[in-house]
Structure 1
């Protein structure tokens, strides 16, 4: 054989091996992707005679066997001594190569399956890999393989809001099953909020006989009709709560699946339901007036501490979540008791008053062997030294926390809020707004570039949040959760350099079918439409890359590409949060574009959107004017809006002029409809 033929043979063989490896990797449909995979020849057949052996404790073995009864490994008996053939061996080991209790090694050959781990959690997660291989593979045949796997982050969580809409314990258990299957280990249970209290507190029975019930079936109708509560025996009552027995049952169910439940008890804000029930805990002393607890009265701390004592008795979690977000604090500014507290404690204002409350509650929790987690607003007024920050308003809160030496969990709304539309909005059920695709969730990287390697160690992990304002049914809620939570499961577990969108997408398609087969209602990923067509191709027009002057500043929160946004040729997608739409809050939109010289023009247009839920409105009126000298303007067109602000669904509308004119300066004004807190969004001013 010639030298060139030898090289050709070697190259061909290498390409063949690579292609086989890729094909095999494609065949391993496991989420999250394992850290290391090595394939071997042969298969293992799981048959009715396959046994299971483990050296776990008797209690651990019983819990594991109980769990397996609901899986594709049900009815396989546990044996007392290991067998070298037709056996699944779950082996606890002191092997120092395992860096944590969740890591595992899985070896499948033609005779047996061996899962080795330092902790029972590792054996559990190795078994999840087996279960997924069985569910997504060829019947009971498993490929011979060696997998070494360990999670990237210790915290891989999902949050569920049961205040806005109540979901029974069986539904919660069902979601815990799915979390375990995809190796997620923290369930953040949002049990209280202004829309309803959902956990039995024996010392305060009216929290569940009154604050858990609303006289409206529809949350939006309740929201605009006074937001009142009613007694449980009221014929109109809609709602529910978990008894303490329910809570303990769910906590035990989760523990069997190696999931820790973190309860959230909101304070000081989002507490309207409590203050309607016990108005003496508010600044006004009157129901349905305040949203924040009164921090000037000791009755508030007596109440909160009594509640937390019962909560800690039900939840063994190291962490207790206290909310801390979106507290208006306005009542504190006028409250004599709060102002006295500020003076007595030498505080600078209401921000430090909130910090005082957070510190005091944290000390109470610490004294009882627990730690505090809160949303990133708990940083305001001074961060508690041992508090963990859950960063939702972007990543800034998490960055600030870790730079101060605190732990953080990343859950920014842009990537982790699963109440946003996941496909073309007019094809989807109602959502609060935003557009968050599976691909965008998968693209999230929880470690910001600005952190050092030491600071990065303080990022505990990532969490997906399910807020249920627009999720009234079990089916709708699952539709919003799956498959997007699977992307976060992989973000939290798999090494960043192992992420591969195309490969994940193919695995997610199979996972959706598996979820459907197990009775879940996921979004049908194979029918995904995708983003707005206009967003894919840049548009050419006369204003592109020209100078633009803003009369009113755009919002820093929705700045898109800054001053070039409206003349960069890039159109926005289905929603305002895609970094292409530019937002203006509580003001008119007024910009002037300098074309550089007098130029013949035939068209000036811009598109706006409306979505009632997040207060995104059409302009009341648009005025388009032109000038040759930048001083004297002639109005080309005045266009009134004809879309009602009461329209519930997402709307788009072009406001434009067509005709014949000549100008150097083009001024485009869009007038706000005047709704306080209202937004205007546009993506490009097109001049032709």
Structure 2
């Protein structure tokens, strides 16, 4: 690897309008209900209060039990459930439930609380609103006076989804259950499990045991608990998945399984080469990106997939089955004489139409079992099976085309609903993609594109956020990416569009953040974390021995408070109003703090010492070129569960520092991480990669001024040492000669 250091990125943040106080009691409810009528008075819920449910109504008892669990964790109140007698809270069945009915009504009067619904889902969502009303603030163990109110609520969209990628990095069942718990509390109802890809097959198929014996494991240099040495992987048994389906169903969540095909099939073909095109056995891939292996299109391959789908349908009762359909490079089909002969025999003109034919056969098979297929928007190419639904990820174009054709669609566009994108430019963000999607970005999205004809709007099922996991290994990293952005997704998918209000959302999010922490969720504080930016030139500040610093954050809610002595800020620390001017050597610590002393983010630290002012991490350095590339924040190994992460453009490992004050520099010290290059790039992408000649065996770090000649003097070059077994990073120091520029 040849590294280049040429510049400094300006720290950026979005300063948003301050949040006004929200009208009680909606300050506790998220997503905001469809209709609310305030009443008069309050009803006090004490420890030991009873929820009365209809006798022999298992769904109502389940809804009450879930609410009781949540209130115990988030408020410390111990409630109980009964099916007769007097109770402070009553669940009532009323009316006849229809398909898809999720409506409920919640009445609070000075005499008690009543939740009324016709459907199981309606009672459950009423129970989730109740749990929020009983944990409206940060107090714990106290009785709650609930203001009188009538909530008449139903969702805007039927599909309110989350996709978890467990193929790239598998997650423990308990971690998936935690996500389901939080989805239920946010009234999200579809969990798509991405179970297969080039990098691993994660579902037990009894008819084809090699899928998990071989296809579930890939080579890895990172130790993996429970895995054989040198391998990463694992899979879920059918019993585990059935139990997970039941766990989700008890929380009004449907699990939608995804088996990716005809592309992203390398792990399956590694287990059974005969189902591929070439007949060879590749390894399970350790590369992220798009690999060339495709399922074959002959009878043997189709029979294999149908048999897999049969076992899948026996586990997952979801009416929709996701079959992928994305990023299927057609090179192998184009190169196969057998496939080309089959196309001629079928009268199929090109490989896009062959994919449509292939997917259509699977759609027919699902239809015979009263199921329907859904796939990524590439299934539009070459023609769409009549019963297919489309999940639009490449922007909104696929959804617009499919809906206007009369097909149901789910909006899941990147980058805004791709939650593997980072939430901020903070240097402490975990690995992920560098197309930053803030909490405000997600909240601002509307999943009903204007280009869909009004008469076709009913085909928009809803929205889904996707969490791809190439760069996210641990449950904590995933929770950081999901929360609180799933709160924003919940409101855009459930609440009426007219009720969307960013400042009011922040007010509702306030108690939700506390509820996350009481339930042990590793949510991100990126929206409230303080950014520091030096005003003016760093070199001038060092020469003047006065550093002026601006403090910003994404979401302007409550107050930034700071200290200049290095101590942690509190509710009595100075409130930030305008830029601070401090002497070099000072330390500023700042965070967002509520009037009751709660901090909305961990305090961030700004060190005004000369060495710190001159230090830049990769997260603060822009890439050298405007080449689009792929911007990533990468760990030091593909399966690393801890350690540092570095930001880079994988097409050009070069960074700039345009404002570096060279007159203040006597030496340059560089800490280097050897980042993995396990990227399966397509040919057009490979042509964009900037490759540089390495004059030394293990690579060379080049440091030069932007005005330097094309060939720097040897003093600008620092050979990179071989990797050490105990660490993947090393430090190199280069000294300037007196009165000599960086490069001659």
TM tier, smaller = 0.7 to 0.9
Bigger relative CO (Cα 8 Å, ≥ 6 apart): 2
Distance 1:191 1:95, change over 3 A: closer
Any residues of structure 2 matched to 1:210-609 within 5 Å, and which? 210-218=214-222, 234-288=228-282, 291-525=292-526, 527-529=528-530, 584=628
* Inter-partner Cα distance in structure 1 for 2:21 and 2:655: 53
Find the residue that maps to 2:427 and give its secondary structure: helix
What does residue 127 of structure 1 align with? 127
What does residue 108 of structure 1 align with? 108
CA shift, 1:262, in A, is 0.1
* Inter-partner Cα distance in structure 1 for 2:487 and 2:386: 33
Q: Name structure 2 gaps, 5 residues minimum.
A: 1-19, 284-290, 536-551, 553-618, 631-645, 659-669, 677-683, 692-744
TM-score normalised per structure 2? 0.67
Any residues of structure 2 matched to 1:62-77 within 5 Å, and which? 62-68=61-67, 70-72=69-71, 76-77=79-80
Distance 1:410 1:533, change over 3 A: farther
Aligned pairs, number:
540
What does residue 55 of structure 1 align with? 54
What does residue 203 of structure 1 align with? 207
* Inter-partner Cα distance in structure 2 for 1:123 and 1:82: 19
Find the residue that maps to 1:416 and give its secondary structure: coil
TM-score normalised per structure 1? 0.72
Distance 1:282 1:576, change over 3 A: farther
CA shift, 1:64, in A, is 3.2
Question: Contact (CA 8 Å) 2:462, 2:493: kept in 1 or not?
Answer: yes
Q: Name structure 1 gaps, 5 residues minimum.
A: 1-20, 223-231, 537-573, 587-609, 623-642, 650-672, 681-688
Distance 1:27 1:297, change over 3 A: closer
What does residue 676 of structure 1 align with? 687
What does residue 33 of structure 1 align with? 32
* Inter-partner Cα distance in structure 2 for 1:531 and 1:262: 43
CA shift, 1:585, in A, is 6.6
Question: Contact (CA 8 Å) 1:391, 1:397: kept in 2 or not?
Answer: yes
Any residues of structure 2 matched to 1:611-622 within 5 Å, and which? 612=648, 615=651, 618=654
CA shift, 1:152, in A, is 0.3
Question: Contact (CA 8 Å) 1:296, 1:337: kept in 2 or not?
Answer: no
CA RMSD of aligned residues (A): 3.4
Question: Contact (CA 8 Å) 1:275, 1:288: kept in 2 or not?
Answer: yes
Distance 1:421 1:49, change over 3 A: closer
Question: Contact (CA 8 Å) 2:319, 2:371: kept in 1 or not?
Answer: yes
In the alignment, structure 1 residue 160 sits paired with structure 2 residue 164: yes
| CA deviations over 1:275-322 (Å, ceiling 9, x no partner) | 111111111111228743343321111110110000000000000000
Question: Contact (CA 8 Å) 1:421, 1:434: kept in 2 or not?
Answer: yes
* Inter-partner Cα distance in structure 2 for 1:114 and 1:315: 34
Distance 1:76 1:459, change over 3 A: same
Runs of 4+ in 1 over 6 A off after TM superposition: 530-534, 574-577, 643-647
| CA deviations over 1:179-229 (Å, ceiling 9, x no partner) | 00000000001111111111110011111122112231549xx9xxxxxxx
Aligned partner (choices 142, 149, 157) of residue 145 of structure 1? 149
Question: Contact (CA 8 Å) 1:28, 1:133: kept in 2 or not?
Answer: no
What does residue 190 of structure 1 align with? 194
* Inter-partner Cα distance in structure 2 for 1:584 and 1:613: 9
* Inter-partner Cα distance in structure 1 for 2:685 and 2:489: 39
Find the residue that maps to 2:327 and give its secondary structure: coil
CA shift, 1:496, in A, is 0.7
CA shift, 1:432, in A, is 2.4
* Inter-partner Cα distance in structure 1 for 2:68 and 2:48: 16
